[in-house]
Amino acid sequence: MIRVFLSYSHIDDNYRNELQKHLMSLQHQGIVETWHDRRIGAGEEWAGRIDDELNRADIILLLISSDFIASRYCYDLEMTQALARHNRREAVVIPVILRPCPWTGLPFGKLQAATKDGKPVVKYPSLDDAFLEITQNIESVAKRLIAQSNSLTTTPAMTSASSGKSGTTQPDPARSELPRSSNLSIPKTFSDHDRDTFVTEAFNYIASFFEGSLGELQVRNPEVKTLFQRMDARSFEASIYLNGNQVSKCGIWLAGNLFGSRGTPSISYSSSGLVQGNSFNESMSVKDNGSMLGLEPMGMSYLHKTEKKPLTNQGAAEYYWAMFFEPIQRFNKPSSFV
């Protein structure tokens, strides 16, 4: 199994614990085994044990936050040792950005983070969404290392790297880090079924995004109550109440005609909730750029006059959330929301 070492600040212990739960899926499958300093037993010499485990690890996760950066032990010792092993191709170091902080200019800033574009865990709709993506990426790296290790043991051109044990071979993690072009898209054509399936999946993502964001908003702000109602497979309503008074409401639904009927599939938004007829404040239709599908807003929202361009599911959800959340940010006490 691939050995995974978790380096983190104890202030971020809750995040480490949640990540550990998700990694148990890989552990149950026999893909990885994890280690962190909470596993040090009574009477053990903790500095020596940490050093031993760090030197044995195949994957080293740096759980990055301002507290990690401020920790002398995490930053000066564990991170330095981890990067030295990474540079010697003895291990793969993966930054996991927990909370927003200035990390890109630091020594590990050149490495690919565990989330797309280094998005912080706390910026996801829920911790489960974040750690699912992180676990999937760790699984991909672990399986690659296993495959490389297997190929090294079955081909004559084996290379060995010191791992603290003589005669052992280690996978070469640098193979996947060769420079490559970002222009790898191949022109594609999309069928009506492709478009209908895409917009349906995008709508379901937006619905989950709103439900998760409303739940987190209510948890963080005791004076706020929220309401999410999934009316059917094609529509939902969302509301926010401050001290019992409704301050924002919206309805979002699959519009256009799907699966065989004429019309461009789209997702519409109304600040009045779900309404009869075709009244809406904004709408996004499915567009393709020749290689992939996206959602393009009509540009009716004054908040996004310059953003008429195809969006990903995440971008579309954030676009509609910004419209929905804007009335609250104009409220007399916006600082009460976090």
Last residue of a domain, one of 177, 210, 230: 177
Per-residue pLDDT at 205: 87
The reply to whether 42 and 149 lie within a common domain is yes
The reply to whether 230 and 314 lie within a common domain is yes
Cα 307 to Cα 294: distance, rounded to the nearest angstrom = 13
Closest CA to 64 of 8, 139, 122: 8
Instruction: Give a yes or no: residue 182 inside a domain.
Output: no
The reply to whether 135 and 251 lie within a common domain is no
Instruction: Give a yes or no: residue 39 inside a domain.
Output: yes
The reply to whether 78 and 212 lie within a common domain is no
pTM of the model: 0.48
**190: Cβ–Cβ under 8 A, 6 or more apart, which residues?**
198, 288, 293
Per-residue pLDDT at 5: 95
Domain range holding 96? 2-156+169-177
**47: Cβ–Cβ under 8 A, 6 or more apart, which residues?**
none
The reply to whether 173 and 203 lie within a common domain is no
Instruction: Give a yes or no: residue 280 inside a domain.
Output: yes
The Cβ of residue 293 has, within 10 Å, a number of other Cβ atoms equal to: 19
Per-residue pLDDT at 183: 59
Please answer whether residues 32 and 4 qualify as being in contact, where contact means their C-beta atoms are separated by less than 8 angstroms.
yes
**Number of domains, the chain:** 2
Report helix angle 80-87 to 46-56, nearest 10: 20
Q: Which residues pair with 6 in a beta bridge?
A: 61
Cα 189 to Cα 194: distance, rounded to the nearest angstrom = 9
DSSP symbols for 183-206: ---------HHHHHHHHHHHHHHH
Instruction: Give a yes or no: residue 128 inside a domain.
Output: yes
The Cβ of residue 8 has, within 10 Å, a number of other Cβ atoms equal to: 26
Per-residue pLDDT at 121: 93
The two three-digit tokens of residue 235, written as one number: 């529509």
How does pLDDT run along the chain (338 residues), one tens digit per residue? 899 999 999 888 889 999 999 999 999 999 999 998 888 777 777 778 888 899 999 999 999 999 999 988 888 889 999 999 999 999 999 999 999 999 999 999 999 999 999 999 999 988 899 999 999 999 999 999 988 877 765 544 433 333 444 334 444 544 444 555 545 566 778 888 888 888 988 899 899 889 988 988 888 888 899 999 999 989 999 999 998 999 999 999 998 654 444 567 899 999 999 876 568 889 999 888 776 788 888 877 655 554 456 787 778 888 899 999 988 877 645 444 55
The reply to whether 113 and 198 lie within a common domain is no
Instruction: Give a yes or no: residue 184 inside a domain.
Output: no
The reply to whether 267 and 330 lie within a common domain is yes
Instruction: Give a yes or no: residue 293 inside a domain.
Output: yes
Which CATH number covers residue 26?
Answer: 3.40.50.10140
Last residue of a domain, one of 114, 146, 177: 177
Q: One-letter amino acid identity for 136? A: Q
Instruction: Give a yes or no: residue 187 inside a domain.
Output: no
Last residue of a domain, one of 117, 145, 177: 177
What phi and psi, each to the nearest 5 degrees, are found at residue 14? -65, -40
Cα 322 to Cα 298: distance, rounded to the nearest angstrom = 15
Per-residue pLDDT at 174: 45
Cα 20 to Cα 14: distance, rounded to the nearest angstrom = 10
The two three-digit tokens of residue 286, written as one number: 């499915």
The reply to whether 46 and 91 lie within a common domain is yes
Please answer whether residues 293 and 190 qualify as being in contact, where contact means their C-beta atoms are separated by less than 8 angstroms.
yes
The reply to whether 113 and 229 lie within a common domain is no
Dihedral sign for Cα 47, 51, 52, 57, please. Answer: positive
Instruction: Give a yes or no: residue 61 inside a domain.
Output: yes
The Cβ of residue 208 has, within 10 Å, a number of other Cβ atoms equal to: 17
The reply to whether 173 and 204 lie within a common domain is no
The Cβ of residue 96 has, within 10 Å, a number of other Cβ atoms equal to: 28
The reply to whether 52 and 131 lie within a common domain is yes
The reply to whether 173 and 205 lie within a common domain is no
What phi and psi, each to the nearest 5 degrees, are found at residue 110? -80, -10
DSSP annotation of 75: I
Helix (H, G, I), strand (E, B) or coil at 47: helix
